[in-house]
A and B are shown apart, each in its own frame.
Chain A
Amino acid sequence: MSAGFNGFGSAYFDGDRPISEEVSLHIANQNLQIGLDDGSTLFWPVKDIRVLQDGADKNSYSLRLITDPLARLFVTDKTLLGYLPNATRRAPPKGRGRLAAWAVAAVAAVALQVTVLVPLLADRLAVFIPPAGERALGEATFEQIRNALDETGMAPLAMCENPAGVRALAQMTAALNAGEGALEGLSVTVLDHEMINAFALPGGFVVIFKGLIDQAKTPDEVAAVLAHEIGHVVSRDPTRHALRSAGSIGILGLLFGDFAGGAAVLFLTERLISATYSQQAETDADTFGYARLEAANVSPAALGTMFERLRDEHGEGNELLNHFLSHPSLGDRIENARAAADATRDYAAILDDAAWADLQAICD
């Protein structure tokens, strides 16, 4: 079988000089015969010819020979393509082993950073940040979270500042943050959001969401959560956490690029709110909370009561309760809270009915 093609406008480049040579094109004996002006003829086996991909022009294309990385044949006759059986076959990727090795190295480097180096460094450094610095870190994170949670896109999420409610909250805070080891500059804020959640930030910021107050049946339940968060503040868990995320945000941005950098930041803010500290840190905060509740003559069992009701109402693993229920072994925590209460003691409510009503109306 032999076929000739229109060589007008076609050109051969020898891969050494940027000079185009006019050609005549034939296929015979499974070879593309490229006739040059000096009388010589090149033989390209048709099975070894590939067409360059993603060309912008539909009426011309460039061919290459797999055994010659440099020479190119520029062709304007489209019928030639029908004679090249492997024109669009891809070359297997070169150096797969090396690629795999670096891929593993990259994943390992990131994992090492995010799970070992950054936490280790953050834990060590957190102790050395002076109070003013912690405060600034907390303020920055607080604003970030308020902005992230806002759904209107206009202003940061509103803080609840009904004066009577604020007074009731201050009364509760004072009762829990009293005696030996009372914290300086503890500030407790309620944010107007449906989430059933509360969290601590560096520098003594504790944030309670309105959803949590709505869910609580007694002021003691709110107090139990507050005491737990104060426990985190005292052990500086949020500071460690914030430093860790400062280190991790950059790495995640690096991995995803501008392509999904925004999504990564969104994701991290979410992580920050539902900050899961280590199980030990949670247990310590619980223990701390029980002690403070005892000191304020409030039953530590309130925490267990609340958890139990939430679990019964929404079921375990329900997303609504993301924060509390994502903590491991909820059942244990309920048991522990019960056990921490002294059955013989006569506990009182942390707020009287009027103050509790005020606190419930803090966002109105």
Chain B
Amino acid sequence: MTDATLTYPASGPEGLPVQFVGKRSALFWLALKTGFLTVITLGFYRFWMKTRLRRWFWSAIRPGGHPMEYVGDPWEKLLGFFIAVVVLTFYIGVVNLMVMFVSFSVFASASVGYLASAIGVIPIWFYARYRARRYVLARTRWRGVRFGLEKGAWGYAWRALMHWAVTILTLGLLWPRMTFALEKYVTDRTYFGSARLHQDGRWTMLYRAAIPIFVSLLILAAGAGWLLWWDPVVVSADITAEGVARSFEEIMDGGVPAFPVVGAERLAIFPLGIMGLLYGAIHYRFASKRLMANHKTSEGISLQSRLSGPRVASIYVLGSFIAYLALLVGIVGLVIFAFVTLGPSAMMDGAFGDFGADVDIPCGMALALVAVFYLSVFLMWNVLYSTFVTFPLMRHMTKTLSLPQRYGLQVISQRDRDEFTEAEGFAEALDLGAAI
């Protein structure tokens, strides 16, 4: 018996590489096909769609050339969804009603009620997130060996609540502490076969990932001080929002602003700062993943990620842009198509499905058309997002990952199956399972 992995150097700088196979076009067709089936089955096929997309992505990820395997079953997802509906329908229906009642009776406003019912869902949301992670890991295999996550969803939920509270109270200064602690909670309960993973390192190391955000905030703060305080752009005693807007328009038109303005081009500092903030958010999310991945170990196994923050950001920006553009072209095409086939009056009055005095199509049909249109747009967005954002993101994350140390694999053996009846039903019902 030989192990293919042993033909590589036992612990070179590269280590056991993780490959990514699979073509974008193949994913596009799979997503389109399954998405279409989801639409015509009124959403029921979504359990199959998710399963099939995961199978595809998992099999594309190949540590040491051998594919990961997703063994999740659509039928168990459907069962889990039914279970979650039975449990949650009471909570959502009755609790929402009570909350709205109290909100109207006591506060005479709807917003308090919306806020309260949203806050009420948050603990369940964290709970469902952990459960979904547990289900996915329990149904993931590599080289025939199962991954797994220990029970502990409520522990995760209340820790997440605490960390969020602390993060909000410290105005975000302790955000890295939350990121690290929650990831450590999950990682320390994760298994590959008999081997348990450990999250080493310290939460303070994540501040490095937050540097772009801090710099952007500094630029914004300094810019605000400079432009509004020390050397104001607008030199005038009374500034009104209307006046500022008018001056801005006049500058745009190339005319003379109503207020005396000094160095208005310096205002560009604000959009730049906000773009920096956006980049900083993406950078933090992925650079912190990289830092923590590099500190994940198991007996004789280590991980190394060379994920690039700028690369991930460009994938997001470019991918979203292409997806939006394609979606826009599709919508315009659909509208023109509807305009030609149904005539303009149907477009105007049929939009809400019924009441216009000069519409000949029956209400039900018009409503169905609107629904089909809405669902097609939704479907296309999902397909395009998978193709142009999820795919390159997965590929980049996969290709930059390796296992420098892997002799520990020799002593790993299989773990028991985690039955997990309700699958990711809660996450599905609460709409947080949309991501792959």
The segment out of B55-63, B315-323, B335-343 that lies at the interface is B55-63
Interface presence of A82 (CB below 8 A): no
Which residues of chain B from 271 to 325 have a CB within 8 Å of any chain A CB?
none
Question: B97 touching A121 by the CB < 8 A rule?
Answer: yes
Count B-side interface residues using an 8 Å CB cutoff.
Answer: 89
Partner of A56, one of B57, B109, B110, B371: B57
Q: With both chains docked as a complex, state the minimum distance between the C-beta of B318 and any C-beta of chain A, in angstroms.
A: 22
- Indicate whether A155 reaches chain B with its CB closer than 8 angstroms: no
Asked if B59 and A248 make an inter-chain contact with CB atoms under 8 angstroms apart, the answer reads: no
> B219 within 8 Å of A by Cβ?
no
A98 contacts across to B, CB distance below 8 A: 79
Name which of B207-215, B220-228, B244-252, B428-436 contacts chain A: B428-436
Within 8 A of B (CB), among A107-154: 109-110, 113-114, 117-118, 121-122, 125, 128-130, 132-137, 140, 148-149, 151
Residue B104 is within 8 A (CB to CB) of chain A in the complex: yes
**A72 and B351 contact, CB distance less than 8 A:** no
Contacts of A53 in B (CB 8 A): 52, 55
Inter-subunit contact B92/A62 (CB<8 Å): no
Q: Does B169 lie at the interface of the complex (its beta carbon under 8 Å from any beta carbon of A)?
A: no
| Contact call A151/B348, Cβ cutoff below 8 A | yes
Shortest B154–chain A CB gap in Å is: 21
* Contact indicator A18/B69 (Cβ below 8 Å): no
- Interface check B409, CB cutoff 8 A: yes
Distance, CA A194 to CA B345, complexed state (A): 13
Say yes or no for A288: interface residue by CB 8 A criterion.
no
Q: Does B242 contact A (CB under 8 A)?
A: no
Q: In the complex, A54 Cα to B50 Cα: how many Å? A: 12
Q: Which residue of chain B lies nearest to A68 when distances are taken between CB atoms in the complex?
A: B144
User: Which one of A16, A52, A118, A197 lies within 8 Å of B59 (CB-CB)?
Assistant: A52
> Contact at B67–A74, with CB atoms within 8 Å?
yes
Q: Mark B342-366, 1 if CB is under 8 A from A, else 0.
A: 0000001101111111000011000
**B residues near A151, Cβ cutoff 8 Å:** 348-349, 351-352
Scan B129-147; emit 1 where CB is below 8 A from any A CB, else 0. 0000000000001111100
Q: Which residues of B contact A9 (CB under 8 A)?
A: 65
Looking at the assembled complex, report how far the CB atom of B348 sits from the nearest CB atom of chain A, in whole angstroms. 6
Residues of A within 8 A of B262 (CB): none
Segment touching B, from A26-34, A251-259, A333-341, A345-353 = A251-259
Given contacts A52-B55, A320-B355, contact A250 B93 (CB under 8 A): yes
Given known contacts A74-B66, A128-B105, A113 and B89 CB-to-CB distance under 8 angstroms: yes
Query: 8 Å CB contacts to A: which residues of B85-101?
Result: 85-86, 88-90, 92-94, 96-98, 100-101
Contact (Cβ within 8 A) B105 A129:
yes
Q: Chain A binding site: helix, strand, loop or mixed by DSSP?
A: helix
Q: Complex formed: what's the CA distance from A112 to B409 in Å? A: 53
**Quick check: A106 and B86 within 8 Å, CB to CB?**
yes
Cβ of B21 and Cβ of A57 under 8 Å apart?
yes
- Choose, from B1-9, B232-240, B253-261, the stretch at the interface: B1-9
Give min CB distance, B48 to chain A, whole Å: 10
Shortest distance in angstroms between B275's beta carbon and chain A's nearest beta carbon? Answer: 28
Docked-complex contact B353 and A270, CB < 8 angstroms = yes
Name the one of B43, B66, B94, B357 contacting A259, with C-beta atoms under 8 angstroms.
B43
| Chain A residues with a Cβ under 8 A of chain B | 9, 11, 13-22, 36-38, 52-58, 60, 62, 70-72, 74, 93-95, 98-99, 102-103, 105-106, 109-110, 113-114, 117-118, 121-122, 125, 128-130, 132-137, 140, 148-149, 151, 193-197, 211, 243-244, 246-251, 253-263, 266, 270, 319-320, 322
Of the A-B pairs whose beta carbons lie under 8 Å apart in the complex, a sample of 26, sorted by A's number, is A15-B145, A16-B413, A17-B412, A21-B3, A36-B1, A54-B30, A93-B73, A99-B75, A99-B82, A106-B83, A109-B90, A110-B85, A113-B89, A117-B93, A121-B94, A134-B104, A136-B108, A196-B355, A250-B93, A250-B96, A250-B117, A254-B92, A254-B430, A260-B378, A262-B374, A263-B375
The 5 closest A-B pairs by CB, nearest first: A56-B22, A56-B60, A13-B144, A247-B97, A133-B104
